[in-house]
A and B are shown apart, each in its own frame.
Chain A
């Protein structure tokens, strides 16, 4: 069974940094693209970033230059380094397994981790 377990969400001040992790199991991690999607309180889904199995990365304009996605295939773990956080980054962040090596279309979702940016 595919499982995705996010961690690292916390309360952080504006301008601060946070690193999210997503531990994957139940599938061959290095064969699939992975994606981060977020959902602000009471709002819809917003794609944040994706990484192909080959390491190609993609970012939403709203986080480009501030967030960095990466993966450690030896640890079956996906990361999202978030710097210079803003109040509008407050959301539940979901990790998801993609459809294939190159397609990050979310197929399986984790349970999410909450990031709150506030002073």
Chain B
């Protein structure tokens, strides 16, 4: 059981907007910033969102992140077939004194 809770799967059709949630606690999301990672099949993870809502250069503005209290969300608008991937949230947990990840959400583009 992961410290950060994500839905195991999500889906949408091309052009749609989908959101992926990440639920934590006051010792992790409530205390530190959240990052989101995209892992395309057979490849290494890639940073998608950092510091809750910032996009690294090169990441399309279709991807956005937000945080409220002990939960965070990743939104993908204008869904494209190449967005089909696993998505992970991550942050630091001050009680565990360790970095923690969500269990991952597999996004399917129908």
Contact = CB atoms under 8 A, between A and B. Distances in A.
Contact of A47 (B44, B56, B100): B100
Nearest to A94: B44
Interface residues of B, number: 24
Contacts of B63: none
Contact of B88 (A45, A50, A60, A105): A45
B interface: dominant SS: strand
Contact of B90 (A45, A61, A94, A112): A45
Interface stretch (B19-27, B77-85, B91-99): B91-99
A61 B46 CA distance: 25
A107 B45 CA distance: 10
Interface residues on A, range: 20 to 34
A11 interface: no
B44 A109 contact: yes
A44 B90 CA distance: 12
Given A44-B88, A105-B90, A105-B92, A58 B97 contact: yes
Nearest to B2: A44
B45 A94 contact: yes
Contact of A46 (B33, B47, B96, B101): B101
Contact of A105 (B45, B46, B99, B103): B99
B64 interface: no
Interface string A106-119: 11111110000000
